[in-house]
Amino acid sequence: METVYYLIQNMLPVAIPLLLVALGGMFSETSGVINLALEGIMLFGAFFGALFVYAVQESGMGPQTILLIGMIIAAIAGIIYSLLLSFAAVTMKANQTITGTSLNMLIPAAILLFSKMFFNSDGITTRMNFYIRKMPVLGDIPVLGQLFFQKTYLTVGIGLIFLIISAIVFYKTKFGLRLRACGEHPHAADSVGINVHRMRYAGVCISGILGGIGGFFYSVGVMDGNVNGHTGVAGFGFLALAVMIFGQWKPGRIFFGAIFFAFLRTLAYSVSLIPFLYNLGINQTYYKMMPYIATMIVLAFTSKKSRAPKAEGIPYDKTQR
């Protein structure tokens, strides 16, 4: 039973960054803009969030307060970086795949340069610990308290709140309906007075918010406050894209996709604690390949049934209406 508790407690902080970034990708692609820049947006948000933590970690401010302010800064950083994509894809009508790829390549190099110049290092390492050993009251609930409210991070609860908000915005609001219309039939949406360009900017900006926060949560919940230009965010942005496709651009399914991949990753890093897997004598490196191999297998079997937004990746030209 202790192993089950351990796996779930360690799986959730990994699942939340995947969930948030995949939800961000969902908003962008539903509006009609392919967002391959999620990896770069994650890293940009993580860097500025960690930079803030680094600057205030000796100030005496509470860790959870710093986490919340760092989250806001990461979200703002994510918006700013995502605006480069929306300007190129929406205003300039550039190729969205090439733009996203170039944005992913830019940030690791920029972080390395900045960190070498100001910290004589490859990245930023903070000393602030956001780990919560036990939440008051909630941590005392039998079974559930030990599973979800002990040995955890505040990021887990915040991530689940973002999931609920995303689902409500996506399915229950006029904005969500208009956003989906712009990704499916932009000319029809334009004919009833919806500003397609503005909605696509909004979709990409939301992906910037969630991507930046996801990157910051990755750095504090998975990497213990380290943001490095060499390792980046370990391909979590690309993995989030796979989660989004696996989830068919739907919040609920994206949540289960994030849980699935996070469970595999946690399992891969916990082999020594599970006697059955440890006694097999397989090199642990192979276990660490598991989430990525599973990603390829799942996408191979589900890609035929994938149904991306019809106008995804197609620049909107009003004159062709």
Q: Which two tokens stand for residue 248?
A: 């068919």
Average pLDDT, the chain: 90
pLDDT, mean of residues 50-55? 94
Residue 212: per-residue pLDDT:
96
Q: Which pLDDT does position 105 carry in this prediction?
A: 92
Confidence of residue 321 (pLDDT cuts 50, 70, 90): low
Residue-wise pLDDT tens digits, 115-171? 999 988 888 889 888 999 988 888 888 888 888 888 899 999 999 999 999 999 999
Q: Report pLDDT for 19.
A: 96
Distances (CA, A) of 52 to 83, 110, 218: 21, 17, 15
Q: How far apart are CA 140 and CA 278, in angstroms?
A: 32
State pTM to two decimals.
Answer: 0.93
DSSP-derived letter for residue 136 is T
Give residue 299's pLDDT: 78
How many CB atoms are located within 10 Å of the residue 320 CB?
7
pLDDT reported for residue 148: 86
> How many Å apart are CA 260 and CA 85, to the nearest integer?
29
DSSP state of 321: -
